[in-house]
């Protein structure tokens, strides 16, 4: 970080501390559009006028309710995953009047349950080469461009991650070397770091838990290391929702589209009946175009428009497990390119723990898919062949399942083909559906969906798409060394059991955690910790602070305990037990923020416990770590 930037951040910290943390923040408005171009400048001005505070939930709901047949939105998006929030942001920054409803929470569906890779798809490159498939090559090329955009626009939530491919046969070295060099070449100027060969000795130095020999008794010959991006998926999703909101979109979580309205004469979709799932109250929203971004649930929404609609989604579930940090080095992943049954399994460091996965199984479509014991066991077996440590079922801290929205285009001639790329279809009633693709390509999917909506609704945007270089909330002010401002200039004020408030140091772990979760907004959280006595950790062994609960309730539409433990902080994904231990305090702080009564608090406990059950997979799994009951 340059001296001037350090100075700017320090000055900001000082001003914020001096103003007592008032949210009339001395926040440098040099913009979240750090690397903006052209039309994005005018969008920035609009966003600056919003004063850096997202409109509250009540005003977002009121804006949606304020629509009518004669005063419709330009576009209503159904679904607040990566695709839907990306579409809302795209449309709002083009100057369109847009609303978004999400029936649970932003990223409650697949978008919080990914492998967390921002990737071009090295596997698809292999296919492109061996099947001479130019289409696959184009997909990789395109995804690599989008990988670069994500890392540029949300640098606080993403990082380049080196990943090791172990070679236990000599022929594998030139084979993978050529593959990764081609990956570098296709990435071109978007390459993160150049791939390289590590000798067996170097590999073991970097990755001490790597096995020196494989189950067939062959010794490690070396490894190839390549780079992709890694992200905090649900926080990136929430950043998209909040940035869209700042740009003028009316985004509302816990609001479900239950019916679509059509014009009696034209038969075109003109709006939706929405149920606020927190209050149970229903209201209508009208829009010139409705965009269906409901991910694996998009057929459900398509059937609201046309009950005879053919299904597009072939759902497939993927399970991940989380293991202690010592399974992998802090900054090196492992890819098992071919498991015994030919699948790919990753083992990646993530947020201080190790994530391993994934699987591929046919599944019913549900909001709460559960990992099955055999899927967990499959992942454990796959990685154990490559590690020199005991891989134990009892080490699994959390396990979750997500549903891939693998889609085929119902209007395509070859309807049997299921593509990993995305599909945009408009039905006879003008409902635009966008699905498929992957997290990495959410932005271009959103762009295609908004382009389609503009055509269908004959909308008149003020400008073209500007999201390619549109920095998300938190990107401004972020710098990898920014955490030092927190450690040096803030204290964590903590309430003791006796009720006294005592100061504590802003340790490096907590500071880094805040900066990599909130970017330039980390100081807002630090101020809450300092000024409101909310500086305690929520769970032993994790740097998540009480202040985050208050911040997320005020600035990130965090409406329930599950919203917090699963999507705002990632405790449910990292360690189900730790999330359970944090619950009482999370609920207490949310209750104070949202003025919950006793009944609501009780309900929150029940809902959160039921949610966590689906993570630990206690219905199917057999934990034996002394804390869990073995069935």
Ligand X SMILES: Cc1cc2nc3c(=O)[nH]c(=O)nc-3n(C[C@H](O)[C@H](O)[C@H](O)COP(=O)(O)OP(=O)(O)OC[C@H]3O[C@@H](n4cnc5c(N)ncnc54)[C@H](O)[C@@H]3O)c2cc1C
Contacts with ligand X by CB under 6 A lie at 78-84, 101-104, 108-111, 113-117, 119, 256-257, 293-297, 301, 318, 358, 402-405, 435, 437-440
Could you give the C-alpha distances from 328 to 68, 210, 263, 392, 625, in angstroms and in order?
Answer: 55, 9, 57, 14, 21
- Shortest Cβ 277–ligand X spacing (Å): 9
Could you give the C-alpha distances from 393 to 344, 384, 404, 618, in angstroms and in order?
Answer: 20, 11, 25, 13
Tokens of 143: 């995804």
- Shortest Cβ 167–ligand X spacing (Å): 23
3-state per-residue secondary structure call for 67-89: CCCCCCEEEEEECCCHHHHHHHH
- Shortest Cβ 309–ligand X spacing (Å): 14
- Shortest Cβ 445–ligand X spacing (Å): 8
Spatial CA neighbour of 579 closest among 609, 548, 602: 609
- The residue (of 42 and 361) whose beta carbon lies closer to ligand X is 361
Residues 262, 286 contacting (CB under 8 angstroms): no
- Shortest Cβ 530–ligand X spacing (Å): 34
- Shortest Cβ 245–ligand X spacing (Å): 16
- The residue (of 257 and 578) whose beta carbon lies closer to ligand X is 257
3-state per-residue secondary structure call for 319-355: EEEEECHHHCCCCCEEEECCCCCCCCEEEEEECCEEE
Tokens of 315: 């759902």
- The residue (of 101 and 511) whose beta carbon lies closer to ligand X is 101
- The residue (of 109 and 535) whose beta carbon lies closer to ligand X is 109
Tokens of 196: 């390289």
The residue to which tokens 């990737």 are assigned: 119
- Shortest Cβ 104–ligand X spacing (Å): 5
Rounded-to-integer distance, Cα 158 and Cα 439, Å:
13
User: How buried is 626 (Cβ within 10 angstroms: 0-12 exposed, 13-18 middle, 19+ buried)?
Assistant: exposed
Determine the length of the chain: 631
User: How buried is 21 (Cβ within 10 angstroms: 0-12 exposed, 13-18 middle, 19+ buried)?
Assistant: middle
- The residue (of 103 and 353) whose beta carbon lies closer to ligand X is 103
3 state DSSP class of 545: strand
Q: What is the CA angle 141-180-182, rounded to 5?
A: 50
Rounded-to-integer distance, Cα 615 and Cα 395, Å:
14
- Shortest Cβ 340–ligand X spacing (Å): 20
What is the longest distance spanned by two Cα atoms in the chain? 74
- Shortest Cβ 106–ligand X spacing (Å): 7
- The residue (of 522 and 561) whose beta carbon lies closer to ligand X is 561
């Amino acid at each position: 970080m340059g001296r001037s930037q350090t100075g700017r951040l320090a000055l900001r910290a000082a001003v914020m501390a001096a103003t007592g943390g008032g949210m009339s923040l001395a926040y440098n408005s040099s913009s979240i559009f750090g690397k903006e171009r052209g039309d994005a400048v005018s969008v920035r001005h609009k966003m600056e006028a919003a004063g850096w505070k997202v409109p509250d939930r009540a005003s977002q709901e009121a804006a949606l309710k304020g629509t009518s047949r004669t005063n419709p939105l330009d576009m209503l998006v159904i679904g607040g995953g990566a695709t839907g929030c990306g579409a809302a942001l795209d449309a709002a920054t083009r100057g369109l009047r847009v609303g978004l409803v999400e029936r649970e929470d932003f990223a409650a569906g697949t978008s919080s349950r990914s492998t967390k890779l921002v990737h071009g798809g090295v596997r698809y490159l292999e296919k492109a080469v061996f099947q001479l498939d130019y289409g696959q090559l184009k997909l990789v090329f395109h995804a690599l461009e989008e990988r670069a955009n994500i890392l540029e626009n949300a640098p606080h939530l993403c990082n380049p991650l080196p990943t090791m491919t172990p070679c236990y046969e000599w022929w594998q070295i030139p084979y993978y070397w050529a593959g990764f060099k081609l990956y570098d070449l296709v990435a071109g100027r978007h390459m993160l770091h150049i791939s390289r060969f590590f000798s067996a000795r170097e590999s073991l130095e970097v990755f001490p838990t790597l096995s020196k020999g494989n189950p067939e008794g062959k010794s490690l010959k070396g490894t190839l290391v390549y780079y992709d991006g890694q992200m905090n998926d649900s926080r990136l999703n929430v950043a998209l929702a909040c940035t869209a909101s700042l740009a003028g979109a009316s985004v509302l979580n816990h609001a479900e589209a239950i019916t679509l309205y059509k014009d009696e004469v034209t038969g075109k979709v003109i709006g939706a009946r929405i149920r606020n799932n927190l209050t149970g109250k229903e209201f209508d929203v009208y829009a010139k175009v409705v965009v269906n971004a409901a991910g694996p649930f998009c057929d459900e929404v398509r059937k609201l428009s046309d009950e005879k609609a053919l299904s597009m989604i072939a759902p497939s579930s993927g399970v991940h497990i989380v293991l202690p940090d010592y399974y992998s080095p802090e900054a090196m992943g492992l890819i098992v390119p071919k498991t015994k049954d030919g699948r790919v399994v990753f083992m990646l460091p993530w947020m201080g723990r190790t994530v391993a996965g994934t699987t591929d199984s046919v599944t019913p479509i549900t909001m709460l898919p559960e990992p099955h014991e055999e899927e967990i066991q499959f992942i454990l077996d796959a990685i154990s062949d490559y590690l020199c440590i005991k891989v134990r079922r009892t080490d699994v801290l959390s396990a979750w399942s997500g549903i891939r929205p693998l889609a085929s285009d119902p209007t395509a001639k070859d309807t049997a083909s299921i593509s990993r790329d995305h599909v945009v279809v408009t039905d006879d009633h003008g409902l635009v559906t966008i699905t498929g693709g992957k997290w990495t390509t959410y932005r271009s999917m959103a762009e295609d969906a908004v382009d389609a909506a503009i055509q269908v609704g004959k909308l008149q945007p003020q400008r073209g798409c500007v999201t390619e270089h549109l920095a998300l909330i938190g990107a401004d002010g972020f710098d990898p060394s920014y955490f030092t401002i927190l450690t040096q200039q803030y204290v964590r004020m903590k309430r003791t059991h006796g009720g006294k408030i005592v100061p504590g140091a802003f340790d490096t772990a907590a500071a880094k955690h805040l900066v990599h979760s909130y970017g330039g907004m980390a100081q807002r959280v630090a101020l809450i910790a300092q000024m409101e006595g909310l500086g305690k950790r929520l769970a032993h062994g994790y740097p998540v602070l009480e202040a985050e609960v208050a911040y997320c309730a005020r600035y990130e539409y965090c409406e329930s305990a599950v919203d917090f433990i699963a999507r705002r902080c990632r405790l449910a994904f990292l360690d189900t037990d730790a999330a359970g231990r944090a619950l009482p305090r999370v609920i207490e702080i949310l209750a104070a923020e949202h003025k919950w009564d006793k009944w609501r608090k009780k309900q929150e406990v029940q809902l959160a416990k039921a949610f966590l059950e689906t993570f630990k997979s206690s219905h199917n799994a057999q934990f034996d770590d002394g804390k869990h009951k073995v069935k």
